[in-house]
Amino acid sequence: MTELTKHEPTTIYIKPTKGLAALNLRDLWTYRELIYFMVWRDVKVKYKQTLLGMAWAVVQPIMTMIVFTFVFDKVAKLPTEGIPYPVFSFTGLLPWGLFATALNQGSRSLVMHNNMVTKIYFPRLILPMSAVFAGLVDFFISFIILIGLMVYYKVTPAWGQLWTLPLFLVLALVTALGVALWLSAINVKYRDVNQALPFITQFWLLATPVAYSFSNLSKKAQLVLSLNPMTGVVNGFRWALLGTDTGPDLMFWISVGISLMIFVTGLFYFRSMERTFADTI
């Protein structure tokens, strides 16, 4: 108590917000430790009481890669710009895995933590944000596997543009967060989102050049696919890591634009719905 009297307590004004809500990023900064704790908890709890533990982070993408290799390489014999198919698909699976986890966990985050939402004040943005960041740990573990795969298949990385990789990672996070903001806010009111998520994820995977090569598609197909922000991310990853000819071009920037649009509108939609979360959840 003695400590409390030392500084003048800040006065908080509570009143109904109208129209487009302000983003209130300062509040988010005050609560930055909570983001850290939430991520830490998610990671810590995720593989508790499992036999394989953290190994699941490795098993899942490897199994998918093996299935892809069998179906698309051995059976369908898809061209991969001269890169061994396992490396080719794993490079795509890496950002995809991050995106899929973030999308699923992020979209369910508010509903999953409804006891927090209905009882305590904190910037609600923290929930989808920490769900998205928690996927990063799995991502880095898979990344080590990818390095192993590249060494094994003797694939030389594209040294010249490797530095751009973190930028594509950020793009993947922004995209995932943008979609998660929309879906988590909708999910508060309409639980249809929970039902639709597996389908959305599956459909989205097919609409992203993870298993197949973007460069081998027709111009028309490429244009359609570039409306999908994850196309830009996956292509970017391959370009930065493997030096495929899918470097940033007009279609990439379309992807980026759409991603940013989803993110910014999602942010405002989320903030404007936030005032009723505790009442409707």
Residues that bind other proteins (CB under 8 A): 1, 4, 9-17, 31, 33-34, 36-37, 41, 44-45, 48-49, 113, 115-122, 189-192, 275-276, 278-281
Residue 267, H or E segment: helix 250-280
Based on CB atoms, which residue is closest to other proteins, 4 or 75?
4
Measuring CA to CA, how many Å separate 225 from each of 35, 174, 179?
33, 18, 17
For other proteins, give the closer residue by CB, 42 or 249. Answer: 42
Task: Write out the two tokens for 9.
Answer: 């307590």
The CB-of-1 to other proteins minimum distance in angstroms stands at: 4
Q: Which is nearer to other proteins, 75 or 120 (CB)?
A: 120
In the complex, least distance from residue 17 CB atom to other proteins, rounded to whole angstroms: 7
- Check: CB of residue 273 under 8 Å from CB of residue 182: no
Q: How far is the CB of 50 from other proteins (least distance, A)?
A: 11
Inter-residue contact 107 to 197 (CB < 8 Å): yes
**CB-wise, 164 or 194, nearer to other proteins?**
194
Identity of the residue numbered 5: T
Question: Judged by CB, which is closer to other proteins: 149, or 278?
Answer: 278
Contact 260, 171 (CB under 8 A): no
Smallest gap from Cβ 8 to other proteins, in A, equals 9
Asked if 128 and 184 count as a contact pair (C-beta separation under 8 A), the reply is: yes
Least distance from other proteins to the Cβ atom of residue 30, Å: 8
